[in-house]
Amino acid sequence: MTPSDASGNRWSDLDRPPLNAAALRRGLVRPGGLWTSLDVVQRTGSTNTDLAGSGGDEGAVLVAEEQSAGRGRLDRTWTAPPRSGLFFSVRLTPGPGVPAGRWGWLPLLAGVATATALSRAAGVDTALKWPNDLLVTVDGAERKTGGILAERAGDSVVVGIGLNVSLRADELPVPAAGSLALAGAKVLDRDPLLRAVLRSLEEWYESWRAAGGDPAGCRLQEAYTAGCATLGRSVRAELPGGRELVGEAVAVDGDGRLVLATADGVQEPVGAGDIVHLRPAGA
């Protein structure tokens, strides 16, 4: 093997083998199922940007082994070494049976689906930070190991999921980040992890769509509330326009908003913004 072909050779990093696109398609793309196509690219700027601009059918899945311009909420960047995580986007088209006002539940639904899948497939307790961060425990502290970004694309929503799988401590982009490896996951093979997440996402999405997008009717609201680490905590909401709101997070309402109980006795829903956990639950 020469240096020039090392980076693209499947044996160049035995600890981080490439995804098997053909096997993933065989296991996930089937007649009557949600997933209609699955492509794996070696490198791209952003799978969300690529999928949103490509058009195509519902159920398209685009996976990148590496993203050079991965994006999170509030235009934050998402960087990780090649093949160290799962970086993928899916196209969902809820259709006329789901009112557009309920589409805002899709990133929360993706969070529930991903956390459920990781608990089953990797043996890692994964919590949700409102609205769409995935938290694991590393050395007794909560660390962000994944995030979700949903963007409208015509009559569809492109949902992007980024998940740190095998990152080592010296590879973390910021001290507050984590990975499944650092959280003691039993499984770090990305193929079965991706299958588990996509199957869980299909199950939750079809249930939500069959209920007309009603989060209570399909028990999505109940599941999100049960897995949300933000509830019961004192938090600071950094809102658009520079406004801040401090209070106890007491509920997630039917519109997916976080309800804060402030010191003056008012309960105020927050639909957008950055949430900072000020102290652990029950402290």
**Tens-place pLDDT, residues 221-240:** 999 999 999 999 999 999 88
Q: What is the mean pLDDT of residues 2-16?
A: 51
Q: What is the pLDDT of residue 76?
A: 58
Q: What is the pLDDT of residue 262?
A: 94
Closest CA to 205 of 269, 272, 150: 150
Domains and CATH numbers, the chain: 3-226 (3.30.930.10), 230-277 (2.30.30.100)
Of 9-23, 43-57, 261-275, the range with the lowest mean pLDDT is: 9-23
Of 76-80, 118-122, 271-275, the range with the lowest mean pLDDT is: 76-80
Amino acid identity, position 244? E
Share of the chain above pLDDT 90, in %: 83
Q: Which two tokens stand for residue 104?
A: 């805002």
Residues 6+ apart with CB under 8 A from 96: none
**Is the predicted pLDDT of residue 218 greater than 90, yes or no?**
yes
**Is the predicted pLDDT of residue 75 greater than 60, yes or no?**
no
At residue 95 the predicted structure's pLDDT band, cuts being 50, 70 and 90, is: very high
Pairing of strands 156-164, 267-270: unpaired
Closest CA to 60 of 70, 50, 75: 50
The H or E element containing residue 161 is strand 156-164
CA-to-CA separations, 194 to 38, 111, 240, in angstroms, rounded: 11, 14, 34
Residues 6+ apart with CB under 8 A from 121: 187, 192, 193, 196, 197
3-state secondary structure at position 108:
helix
Query: Which of residues 119 and 14 earns the better pLDDT score?
Result: 119
Question: CA-CA distance, 257 to 263, in Å (whole number)?
Answer: 19
**Is the predicted pLDDT of residue 1 greater than 50, yes or no?**
no
CA-to-CA separations, 147 to 13, 129, 141, 178, in angstroms, rounded: 25, 10, 18, 12
CA-to-CA separations, 71 to 46, 55, 205, 255, 273, in angstroms, rounded: 7, 20, 23, 24, 16
Give the tens place of pLDDT for each residue, 150-207.
Answer: 999 999 999 999 999 999 999 998 888 999 999 999 999 999 999 999 999 999 999 9
Q: What's the chain's average pLDDT?
A: 91
The H or E element containing residue 62 is strand 60-64
Q: What is the pLDDT of residue 69?
A: 67
Which ranges in 55-127 belong to alpha helices (H)? 106-121
Closest CA to 161 of 122, 217, 117, 123: 117
Query: Which of residues 8 and 233 earns the better pLDDT score?
Result: 233
